Chains A and B, each alone.
Chain A
Amino acid sequence: MKLRSGPRYDPQAPVCDPEAALVARVAAREQTAFAELYGIYRRRLARFLSRFLASPDTIDEVINDVMFVVWQNAPGFELRSKVSTWIFGIAWRKALKALERQQRNVAPQESTEEIGRPDEAASALETREWLSRALDRLVPNQRLVVELTFFAGCSYQEIAEIADCPVNTVKTRMFHARHRLRDILVSLDSVALEKEP
Protein backbone atom coordinates (compact mmCIF):
# COMPACT_ATOMS: atom_id res chain seq x y z
CA MET A 1 0.00 0.00 0.00
CA LYS A 2 1.23 3.44 -0.84
CA LEU A 3 1.58 5.65 2.17
CA ARG A 4 0.99 9.30 1.76
CA SER A 5 0.65 10.51 5.27
CA GLY A 6 0.95 9.59 8.90
CA PRO A 7 3.79 9.49 11.36
CA ARG A 8 7.09 7.88 10.48
CA TYR A 9 7.60 4.48 11.96
CA ASP A 10 10.06 4.47 14.79
CA PRO A 11 11.00 0.94 15.81
CA GLN A 12 12.36 2.18 19.12
CA ALA A 13 9.16 3.96 20.11
CA PRO A 14 6.81 2.19 22.50
CA VAL A 15 3.56 1.02 20.95
CA CYS A 16 0.85 3.12 22.63
CA ASP A 17 -2.08 2.43 20.33
CA PRO A 18 -3.86 -0.66 21.75
CA GLU A 19 -4.69 -1.95 18.29
CA ALA A 20 -1.11 -1.52 17.13
CA ALA A 21 0.01 -3.37 20.25
CA LEU A 22 -2.35 -6.19 19.33
CA VAL A 23 -0.91 -6.34 15.82
CA ALA A 24 2.58 -6.50 17.30
CA ARG A 25 1.49 -9.53 19.32
CA VAL A 26 -0.09 -11.06 16.22
CA ALA A 27 3.24 -10.54 14.46
CA ALA A 28 4.79 -12.63 17.23
CA ARG A 29 2.23 -15.33 16.34
CA GLU A 30 0.09 -14.97 19.46
CA GLN A 31 -3.21 -16.58 18.57
CA THR A 32 -5.03 -15.03 21.53
CA ALA A 33 -4.10 -11.57 20.24
CA PHE A 34 -5.31 -12.54 16.80
CA ALA A 35 -8.61 -13.77 18.23
CA GLU A 36 -8.99 -10.42 20.00
CA LEU A 37 -8.24 -8.46 16.85
CA TYR A 38 -10.67 -10.65 14.93
CA GLY A 39 -13.33 -9.94 17.54
CA ILE A 40 -12.78 -6.20 17.23
CA TYR A 41 -12.89 -6.12 13.46
CA ARG A 42 -15.39 -8.85 12.62
CA ARG A 43 -18.42 -6.66 13.19
CA ARG A 44 -16.90 -3.55 11.67
CA LEU A 45 -15.85 -5.42 8.56
CA ALA A 46 -19.21 -7.15 8.26
CA ARG A 47 -20.95 -3.80 8.41
CA PHE A 48 -18.50 -2.22 5.97
CA LEU A 49 -18.59 -5.09 3.48
CA SER A 50 -22.37 -5.39 3.59
CA ARG A 51 -22.47 -2.07 1.73
CA PHE A 52 -20.71 -3.65 -1.24
CA LEU A 53 -21.51 -7.34 -1.11
CA ALA A 54 -24.98 -8.80 -0.92
CA SER A 55 -24.41 -12.37 0.14
CA PRO A 56 -23.73 -13.04 3.84
CA ASP A 57 -21.63 -16.04 2.80
CA THR A 58 -19.45 -13.86 0.60
CA ILE A 59 -19.10 -11.33 3.39
CA ASP A 60 -18.03 -14.12 5.73
CA GLU A 61 -15.54 -15.34 3.17
CA VAL A 62 -14.11 -11.88 2.53
CA ILE A 63 -13.75 -11.19 6.26
CA ASN A 64 -11.72 -14.37 6.54
CA ASP A 65 -9.64 -13.41 3.52
CA VAL A 66 -8.94 -10.04 5.08
CA MET A 67 -7.99 -11.46 8.46
CA PHE A 68 -5.86 -14.10 6.80
CA VAL A 69 -3.86 -11.33 5.11
CA VAL A 70 -3.65 -9.53 8.46
CA TRP A 71 -2.20 -12.65 10.06
CA GLN A 72 0.25 -13.16 7.24
CA ASN A 73 1.39 -9.56 6.93
CA ALA A 74 1.34 -8.52 10.57
CA PRO A 75 5.13 -8.98 10.90
CA GLY A 76 5.61 -6.45 8.12
CA PHE A 77 3.12 -3.91 9.46
CA GLU A 78 4.72 -0.62 10.36
CA LEU A 79 3.12 2.13 12.38
CA ARG A 80 3.00 4.54 9.48
CA SER A 81 -0.74 4.20 9.31
CA LYS A 82 -3.47 3.32 11.76
CA VAL A 83 -4.36 -0.33 12.11
CA SER A 84 -7.91 0.46 10.99
CA THR A 85 -6.62 2.18 7.84
CA TRP A 86 -4.50 -0.84 7.05
CA ILE A 87 -7.30 -3.36 7.64
CA PHE A 88 -10.00 -1.38 5.82
CA GLY A 89 -7.59 -0.97 2.91
CA ILE A 90 -7.21 -4.74 2.67
CA ALA A 91 -10.98 -5.14 3.01
CA TRP A 92 -11.66 -2.68 0.23
CA ARG A 93 -9.34 -4.46 -2.18
CA LYS A 94 -10.83 -7.84 -1.26
CA ALA A 95 -14.33 -6.45 -1.69
CA LEU A 96 -13.47 -5.21 -5.17
CA LYS A 97 -12.14 -8.63 -6.10
CA ALA A 98 -15.26 -10.29 -4.73
CA LEU A 99 -17.38 -7.91 -6.75
CA GLU A 100 -15.47 -8.79 -9.88
CA ARG A 101 -15.86 -12.48 -9.14
CA GLN A 102 -19.55 -12.18 -8.70
CA GLN A 103 -19.82 -10.07 -11.83
CA ARG A 104 -22.37 -8.22 -9.86
CA ASN A 105 -23.78 -5.15 -11.51
CA VAL A 106 -22.36 -2.35 -9.43
CA ALA A 107 -22.93 0.38 -11.97
CA PRO A 108 -24.66 3.44 -10.61
CA GLN A 109 -28.37 3.16 -10.67
CA GLU A 110 -29.14 5.89 -13.07
CA SER A 111 -32.85 5.64 -12.67
CA THR A 112 -34.39 8.73 -11.31
CA GLU A 113 -36.90 6.67 -9.43
CA GLU A 114 -37.90 8.46 -6.31
CA ILE A 115 -36.82 6.67 -3.22
CA GLY A 116 -39.55 8.41 -1.40
CA ARG A 117 -39.07 9.40 2.16
CA PRO A 118 -40.02 7.77 5.34
CA ASP A 119 -43.10 8.92 7.06
CA GLU A 120 -42.19 11.20 9.88
CA ALA A 121 -43.82 8.80 12.24
CA ALA A 122 -42.09 5.83 10.66
CA SER A 123 -39.99 3.59 12.79
CA ALA A 124 -36.24 3.87 12.93
CA LEU A 125 -36.10 0.63 10.99
CA GLU A 126 -37.93 2.17 8.06
CA THR A 127 -35.64 5.16 8.14
CA ARG A 128 -32.64 2.85 7.99
CA GLU A 129 -34.13 0.90 5.13
CA TRP A 130 -34.71 4.15 3.31
CA LEU A 131 -31.15 5.27 3.96
CA SER A 132 -29.81 1.91 2.89
CA ARG A 133 -31.61 2.15 -0.43
CA ALA A 134 -30.27 5.64 -0.89
CA LEU A 135 -26.69 4.52 -0.25
CA ASP A 136 -27.15 1.67 -2.70
CA ARG A 137 -27.60 4.28 -5.42
CA LEU A 138 -23.98 5.32 -5.04
CA VAL A 139 -21.20 3.77 -7.07
CA PRO A 140 -18.78 1.72 -4.95
CA ASN A 141 -16.08 4.39 -4.86
CA GLN A 142 -18.54 6.99 -3.59
CA ARG A 143 -20.07 4.56 -1.14
CA LEU A 144 -16.61 3.78 0.16
CA VAL A 145 -15.95 7.44 0.93
CA VAL A 146 -19.32 7.90 2.64
CA GLU A 147 -18.95 4.71 4.67
CA LEU A 148 -15.42 5.41 5.76
CA THR A 149 -16.29 8.96 6.72
CA PHE A 150 -19.54 8.45 8.56
CA PHE A 151 -19.26 4.88 9.77
CA ALA A 152 -15.56 4.23 10.26
CA GLY A 153 -14.73 7.83 11.19
CA CYS A 154 -11.75 8.13 8.86
CA SER A 155 -10.11 11.40 7.88
CA TYR A 156 -9.97 12.20 4.18
CA GLN A 157 -6.23 11.50 4.23
CA GLU A 158 -6.87 8.02 5.63
CA ILE A 159 -9.54 7.38 3.03
CA ALA A 160 -7.09 8.41 0.31
CA GLU A 161 -4.67 5.84 1.69
CA ILE A 162 -7.31 3.10 1.86
CA ALA A 163 -8.68 3.82 -1.61
CA ASP A 164 -5.16 4.40 -2.96
CA CYS A 165 -6.03 7.72 -4.57
CA PRO A 166 -5.18 11.41 -4.08
CA VAL A 167 -7.00 13.34 -1.36
CA ASN A 168 -8.64 15.57 -3.94
CA THR A 169 -10.22 12.50 -5.50
CA VAL A 170 -11.69 11.63 -2.12
CA LYS A 171 -13.18 15.10 -1.83
CA THR A 172 -14.56 14.89 -5.36
CA ARG A 173 -16.13 11.51 -4.69
CA MET A 174 -17.71 12.85 -1.53
CA PHE A 175 -19.01 15.83 -3.47
CA HIS A 176 -20.68 13.57 -6.02
CA ALA A 177 -22.00 11.25 -3.33
CA ARG A 178 -23.59 14.18 -1.52
CA HIS A 179 -25.03 15.41 -4.79
CA ARG A 180 -26.57 12.00 -5.39
CA LEU A 181 -27.88 11.92 -1.85
CA ARG A 182 -29.14 15.49 -1.94
CA ASP A 183 -32.80 14.47 -1.85
CA ILE A 184 -32.08 12.39 1.18
CA LEU A 185 -30.08 15.12 2.84
CA VAL A 186 -32.83 17.67 2.35
CA SER A 187 -35.42 15.21 3.59
CA LEU A 188 -33.36 14.63 6.69
CA ASP A 189 -34.34 18.13 7.75
CA SER A 190 -37.67 16.77 8.85
CA VAL A 191 -36.75 13.26 9.93
CA ALA A 192 -37.10 12.94 13.64
CA LEU A 193 -34.17 11.03 15.01
CA GLU A 194 -34.25 9.03 18.16
CA LYS A 195 -32.30 10.34 21.06
CA GLU A 196 -28.80 9.01 21.33
CA PRO A 197 -28.70 6.13 23.75
Chain B
Amino acid sequence: MTSNELRGDERKALELLPWFVNGTLEGEERELVSRQVLTSLTCRKELERLRRLHQLIRRDDAEAAATGRAYERLMARIDASEASPRSRVRHAGRQLPWTPFALAASLAAAVSVPLWWVAIVPSTSPRTYETLTRAQPADPGAAGLRVVFAPGVTESERLQLLASLGLTIAEPPMDDGVVTLLFTDGTDRAAIVAALRKDPRISLVTSPPVSDGP
Protein backbone atom coordinates (compact mmCIF):
# COMPACT_ATOMS: atom_id res chain seq x y z
CA MET B 1 0.00 0.00 0.00
CA THR B 2 1.45 3.38 -1.01
CA SER B 3 1.67 6.40 1.24
CA ASN B 4 -0.89 8.11 -0.99
CA GLU B 5 -3.33 5.26 -0.43
CA LEU B 6 -2.67 5.46 3.29
CA ARG B 7 -3.43 9.16 3.29
CA GLY B 8 -6.56 8.45 1.27
CA ASP B 9 -7.69 5.88 3.82
CA GLU B 10 -6.94 8.26 6.65
CA ARG B 11 -9.00 10.98 4.98
CA LYS B 12 -11.87 8.60 4.46
CA ALA B 13 -11.65 7.41 8.05
CA LEU B 14 -11.68 10.99 9.32
CA GLU B 15 -14.76 11.65 7.23
CA LEU B 16 -16.57 8.60 8.64
CA LEU B 17 -15.55 9.07 12.27
CA PRO B 18 -18.83 10.67 13.43
CA TRP B 19 -20.74 7.55 12.42
CA PHE B 20 -18.08 5.31 13.91
CA VAL B 21 -18.68 7.17 17.17
CA ASN B 22 -22.45 6.76 17.05
CA GLY B 23 -22.10 3.07 16.21
CA THR B 24 -23.92 3.08 12.89
CA LEU B 25 -20.95 2.33 10.67
CA GLU B 26 -20.84 -1.21 9.34
CA GLY B 27 -18.75 -3.64 7.34
CA GLU B 28 -15.72 -2.47 5.44
CA GLU B 29 -16.16 1.14 6.45
CA ARG B 30 -16.12 0.20 10.11
CA GLU B 31 -13.00 -1.94 9.61
CA LEU B 32 -11.27 0.85 7.73
CA VAL B 33 -11.90 3.33 10.55
CA SER B 34 -10.84 0.79 13.20
CA ARG B 35 -7.56 0.24 11.36
CA GLN B 36 -6.89 3.93 10.96
CA VAL B 37 -7.62 4.65 14.60
CA LEU B 38 -4.89 2.19 15.50
CA THR B 39 -2.32 3.63 13.13
CA SER B 40 -3.12 7.34 12.84
CA LEU B 41 -2.61 9.76 15.69
CA THR B 42 -4.78 12.35 13.91
CA CYS B 43 -7.64 9.87 13.75
CA ARG B 44 -7.24 8.92 17.40
CA LYS B 45 -7.29 12.55 18.56
CA GLU B 46 -10.30 13.36 16.42
CA LEU B 47 -12.06 10.24 17.64
CA GLU B 48 -11.60 11.32 21.27
CA ARG B 49 -12.95 14.79 20.51
CA LEU B 50 -15.97 13.47 18.68
CA ARG B 51 -16.68 11.04 21.50
CA ARG B 52 -16.71 13.91 23.95
CA LEU B 53 -18.94 15.95 21.67
CA HIS B 54 -21.26 12.96 21.38
CA GLN B 55 -21.45 12.62 25.16
CA LEU B 56 -22.15 16.31 25.61
CA ILE B 57 -24.85 16.47 22.97
CA ARG B 58 -26.61 13.42 24.30
CA ARG B 59 -26.66 14.87 27.78
CA ASP B 60 -27.94 18.20 26.56
CA ASP B 61 -31.44 16.87 26.74
CA ALA B 62 -33.78 19.81 27.01
CA GLU B 63 -37.04 19.43 28.83
CA ALA B 64 -39.80 18.47 26.51
CA ALA B 65 -41.77 21.52 25.57
CA ALA B 66 -44.98 19.72 24.87
CA THR B 67 -47.49 19.18 27.60
CA GLY B 68 -50.54 17.08 28.24
CA ARG B 69 -52.59 19.96 26.92
CA ALA B 70 -50.69 19.75 23.66
CA TYR B 71 -51.70 16.12 23.31
CA GLU B 72 -55.32 17.01 24.00
CA ARG B 73 -55.21 19.66 21.31
CA LEU B 74 -53.71 17.16 18.89
CA MET B 75 -56.44 14.62 19.59
CA ALA B 76 -59.09 17.30 19.14
CA ARG B 77 -57.55 18.12 15.78
CA ILE B 78 -57.53 14.47 14.82
CA ASP B 79 -61.17 14.11 15.87
CA ALA B 80 -62.06 17.12 13.76
CA SER B 81 -60.15 15.82 10.77
CA GLU B 82 -61.69 12.37 11.05
CA ALA B 83 -65.11 13.97 11.06
CA SER B 84 -64.47 16.20 8.06
CA PRO B 85 -65.90 15.17 4.68
CA ARG B 86 -62.46 15.56 3.05
CA SER B 87 -61.01 13.07 5.50
CA ARG B 88 -63.84 10.64 4.85
CA VAL B 89 -63.19 10.81 1.13
CA ARG B 90 -59.49 10.27 1.64
CA HIS B 91 -59.99 7.24 3.87
CA ALA B 92 -62.72 5.79 1.69
CA GLY B 93 -60.40 3.57 -0.31
CA ARG B 94 -58.88 1.84 2.70
CA GLN B 95 -59.74 -1.77 3.26
CA LEU B 96 -59.66 -2.08 7.02
CA PRO B 97 -61.37 -4.80 9.01
CA TRP B 98 -63.17 -2.32 11.24
CA THR B 99 -64.70 -0.37 8.38
CA PRO B 100 -68.11 -2.12 8.46
CA PHE B 101 -68.38 -1.51 12.21
CA ALA B 102 -67.33 2.10 11.79
CA LEU B 103 -69.90 2.56 9.06
CA ALA B 104 -72.58 1.00 11.22
CA ALA B 105 -71.61 3.23 14.14
CA SER B 106 -71.58 6.29 11.91
CA LEU B 107 -75.02 5.45 10.56
CA ALA B 108 -76.34 4.90 14.06
CA ALA B 109 -74.89 8.23 15.15
CA ALA B 110 -76.24 9.98 12.07
CA VAL B 111 -79.73 8.74 12.87
CA SER B 112 -79.64 9.03 16.64
CA VAL B 113 -78.11 12.48 17.04
CA PRO B 114 -80.86 14.34 15.17
CA LEU B 115 -83.46 12.30 17.06
CA TRP B 116 -81.74 13.14 20.30
CA TRP B 117 -81.82 16.84 19.51
CA VAL B 118 -85.44 16.64 18.52
CA ALA B 119 -86.20 14.90 21.79
CA ILE B 120 -84.51 17.48 24.00
CA VAL B 121 -85.38 20.62 22.10
CA PRO B 122 -89.06 21.45 21.95
CA SER B 123 -89.79 22.65 18.46
CA THR B 124 -91.70 25.62 19.81
CA SER B 125 -88.95 26.86 22.07
CA PRO B 126 -87.90 30.34 21.09
CA ARG B 127 -84.24 30.69 20.25
CA THR B 128 -82.96 33.37 22.53
CA TYR B 129 -79.57 35.04 22.55
CA GLU B 130 -78.45 35.86 26.02
CA THR B 131 -75.29 36.51 27.91
CA LEU B 132 -73.73 34.05 30.29
CA THR B 133 -74.88 36.20 33.17
CA ARG B 134 -78.44 36.59 32.04
CA ALA B 135 -81.19 36.52 34.67
CA GLN B 136 -82.04 33.10 36.02
CA PRO B 137 -85.45 31.51 36.11
CA ALA B 138 -87.69 32.52 38.97
CA ASP B 139 -87.47 29.05 40.48
CA PRO B 140 -83.90 28.61 41.67
CA GLY B 141 -84.41 24.91 41.90
CA ALA B 142 -84.90 24.77 38.18
CA ALA B 143 -81.87 26.93 37.49
CA GLY B 144 -79.22 25.25 35.43
CA LEU B 145 -75.59 25.62 34.67
CA ARG B 146 -74.18 27.27 31.63
CA VAL B 147 -71.05 25.87 30.15
CA VAL B 148 -68.91 26.26 27.07
CA PHE B 149 -67.13 23.15 25.87
CA ALA B 150 -63.49 23.38 24.88
CA PRO B 151 -62.86 23.45 21.14
CA GLY B 152 -62.60 20.03 19.58
CA VAL B 153 -64.60 18.15 22.23
CA THR B 154 -66.64 15.63 20.32
CA GLU B 155 -70.34 15.01 20.73
CA SER B 156 -69.74 11.62 22.27
CA GLU B 157 -67.27 13.11 24.77
CA ARG B 158 -69.84 15.73 25.73
CA LEU B 159 -72.54 13.16 26.28
CA GLN B 160 -70.22 10.93 28.25
CA LEU B 161 -69.12 13.80 30.49
CA LEU B 162 -72.66 14.98 31.15
CA ALA B 163 -73.90 11.48 31.85
CA SER B 164 -71.07 10.86 34.30
CA LEU B 165 -72.09 13.96 36.28
CA GLY B 166 -75.83 13.36 36.08
CA LEU B 167 -76.45 16.46 33.98
CA THR B 168 -78.92 16.87 31.17
CA ILE B 169 -79.05 19.45 28.43
CA ALA B 170 -81.77 22.01 28.95
CA GLU B 171 -80.95 24.15 25.98
CA PRO B 172 -78.84 23.25 22.97
CA PRO B 173 -75.68 25.16 22.19
CA MET B 174 -76.32 28.73 21.15
CA ASP B 175 -74.34 30.52 18.51
CA ASP B 176 -71.79 31.51 21.12
CA GLY B 177 -71.35 27.89 22.19
CA VAL B 178 -73.15 28.25 25.52
CA VAL B 179 -75.01 25.12 26.61
CA THR B 180 -77.48 25.22 29.47
CA LEU B 181 -77.53 22.14 31.66
CA LEU B 182 -79.87 20.88 34.33
CA PHE B 183 -78.94 19.05 37.50
CA THR B 184 -80.56 15.78 38.41
CA ASP B 185 -82.47 16.00 41.70
CA GLY B 186 -80.46 15.21 44.78
CA THR B 187 -77.04 15.73 43.28
CA ASP B 188 -74.26 17.66 44.97
CA ARG B 189 -74.32 20.74 42.78
CA ALA B 190 -71.23 22.36 44.25
CA ALA B 191 -69.23 19.20 43.60
CA ILE B 192 -70.48 19.03 40.03
CA VAL B 193 -69.59 22.65 39.37
CA ALA B 194 -66.13 22.06 40.84
CA ALA B 195 -65.67 18.96 38.69
CA LEU B 196 -66.68 20.84 35.56
CA ARG B 197 -64.30 23.68 36.35
CA LYS B 198 -61.43 21.24 36.63
CA ASP B 199 -62.32 19.32 33.49
CA PRO B 200 -60.15 20.25 30.48
CA ARG B 201 -63.07 19.58 28.16
CA ILE B 202 -64.89 22.59 29.60
CA SER B 203 -63.75 26.13 28.82
CA LEU B 204 -66.20 28.05 30.94
CA VAL B 205 -68.72 27.31 33.69
CA THR B 206 -71.11 29.72 35.29
CA SER B 207 -73.17 28.62 38.23
CA PRO B 208 -76.54 30.24 38.67
CA PRO B 209 -76.64 33.18 41.05
CA VAL B 210 -78.89 32.46 44.03
CA SER B 211 -81.51 35.13 44.09
CA ASP B 212 -83.67 35.97 47.10
CA GLY B 213 -86.21 37.46 44.81
CA PRO B 214 -87.12 41.07 44.20
Query: A residues touching B (Cβ–Cβ < 8 Å)?
Result: 28-29, 31, 35, 38, 42-43, 45-47, 49-50, 56, 59-60, 63-64, 67-68, 71-72, 75, 124, 127-128, 131-132, 135, 146-147, 149-151, 153-156, 158, 171, 174-175, 178, 181, 184-186, 188-189, 191, 193-194, 196
- For chain B, the count of residues having a C-beta within 8 Å of the partner chain is 42
Is there an interface contact between B48 and A150, defined as CB atoms closer than 8 Å? no
Q: How far is the CA of A153 from the CA of B71 in the complex (A)?
A: 26
Pairs of residues from A and B, 8 with the lowest C-beta to C-beta distance, nearest first: A155-B24, A46-B64, A43-B64, A150-B57, A185-B49, A188-B52, A56-B65, A59-B65
Q: List 27 A-B contacts (CB under 8 A).
A: A28-B97, A31-B75, A42-B64, A42-B71, A46-B63, A47-B61, A50-B65, A60-B67, A63-B65, A64-B66, A64-B73, A128-B60, A131-B57, A131-B60, A150-B22, A151-B58, A154-B24, A155-B19, A155-B24, A174-B15, A175-B15, A181-B53, A185-B50, A185-B53, A186-B49, A188-B49, A191-B52
Contacts of A153 in B (CB 8 A): 22-24
Contacts of B96 in A (CB 8 A): 28-29, 75
Q: How far is the CA of A188 from the CA of B45 in the complex (A)?
A: 11
Q: Which of B5-61 contact A (CB under 8 A)?
A: 15-16, 18-19, 21-25, 45-46, 48-50, 52-61
- Does B70 sit within 8 A of A, measured CB to CB? yes
Query: B residues touching A (Cβ–Cβ < 8 Å)?
Result: 15-16, 18-19, 21-25, 45-46, 48-50, 52-67, 70-71, 73-75, 77-78, 81, 94, 96-98
